Amino acid sequence: MEPLSSAAPAGVVYMQAPGPPSVLVYGREKIGAPGPGQVRVRQAAIGVNFVDTYFRNGSFAVASFPFVPGVEAAGTIEAVGPDVTSFRVGDRVAYHFVVGAYAEVRLMPTSGLVRIPDGITFAQAAAVTTKGLMAWALLRRIYPVQAGSVVLVHAAGGGVGSLTARWARALGATVIGTVGTAAKLAAVQPYLNYAIALDHEDLAARVLEITAGQGVDVVYDGVGQATFGASVPVVKPGGTLVLYGSSSGRPQPPAPAVLAQRQLTVVSPVLGTYLPTQTALEQAAADVYAALQQGWFGELTTQTYPLADAARAHADLEARRTTGSVLLLP
């Protein structure tokens, strides 16, 4: 990465060391021509994911500084490297988990890029690509949901949670969703069969009441410490708990005796495991975009911030003041 300078042309958010949201600084960066295997993308919308906070706060190691966080965005290819034949100037593209997204313009490899279908906006693509791919893995690979499944989705108003809940409902599942506070109930009730505000209701008691004591087939939990332990008693014997994130901290694992006695499966997935090749990524992204175009995600809820306000976006995300997908707009 070239030195950051106020005289350079393209805006970028970077950090010189890990820490709180305030370590995110807006500057400008010179962007050169793409090299072999690269394209230059002018970004229109940048997705903010909770994993970005892990890179920022030091939970995930960063190889060197200054470091540009962010793993997904959508935009237009404005230049291609000398050997690139799979993409052309003018292609509308999005990408998944290519670090360095918090920028107006960036160079990046073609691996990880997918074309955005006609009819899908840049903001929609940035809101659903990474989060939608996780929802796809949760529902189609880790625990395949079908008509009649009963599922519990934590943080049902969040980026991954809302897409997972809506998609599961479209597949014919009965969807129970949780939110942290009663103030968020109104936003999630339209796409859930049952909504639970964790600051007002006992999770286990309410879920067992809803399911007539049977429990749920699967729990999708991106919250972790605040919800995981209370979720174990509400899973049916032989059911599955999926811990795909830990926004409230890592939970204590269930006791092996409990898992064995009730034959429960616990999965802590890494999304890349389910997307081992570029072809697999393209096929999964096509499923996500098809679900969007079929209306399964409903009216996407997004919360937008200027790129220069990335620190505020992180602070709001960590304080659970956001609803839906969070976007930075260059």
pLDDT tens profile 240-261: 999 998 776 776 777 788 788 8
Cα separation values, 96 from 108, 257, 269, 275, Å: 12, 38, 16, 10
In this prediction, residue 5 carries a pLDDT of: 39
Average pLDDT of span 70-96: 96
> According to DSSP H, which parts of the chain are helical?
50-57, 122-137, 159-170, 185-188, 203-210, 228-231, 256-262, 278-293, 310-318
In this predicted structure, the answer to whether residue 2 has a pLDDT above a threshold of 70 is no
Cα separation values, 152 from 78, 101, 116, 169, Å: 43, 32, 31, 11
The phi and psi torsions of 14 (rounded to 5 degrees) equal -140, 175
CA gap 198, 155 in Å, rounded: 10
pLDDT tens-digit map of 40-65: 999 999 999 999 999 999 999 999 99
Query: What is this structure's pTM?
Result: 0.89
pLDDT tens-digit map of 110-144: 999 999 999 999 999 999 999 999 999 999 999 99
In this prediction, residue 248 carries a pLDDT of: 66
Per domain, the residue ranges of the chain are: 10-129+273-328, 147-268
Strands 235-243 and 265-267 turn out to be: parallel
Given CA atoms 27, 33, 36, 40 in this order, what sign does their dihedral have? positive
CA gap 308, 11 in Å, rounded: 8
Given CA atoms 154, 310, 52, 101 in this order, what sign does their dihedral have? positive
Q: Residue 232 in 3-state DSSP?
A: helix
Which one-letter DSSP state was computed for residue 213? T
In this prediction, residue 93 carries a pLDDT of: 99
Average pLDDT of span 264-276: 92
**Looking at the domain that runs over 147-268, which CATH code has it been given?**
3.40.50.720
Using a 10 angstrom Cβ sphere, with 0-12 exposed, 13-18 middle and 19 or more buried, the burial of residue 175 is: buried
Q: Which CATH number fits domain 10-129+273-328: 3.30.559.10, 1.10.101.10, 3.90.180.10, 2.40.128.30?
A: 3.90.180.10
Equal fold, 10-129+273-328 vs 147-268: no
CA gap 75, 27 in Å, rounded: 20
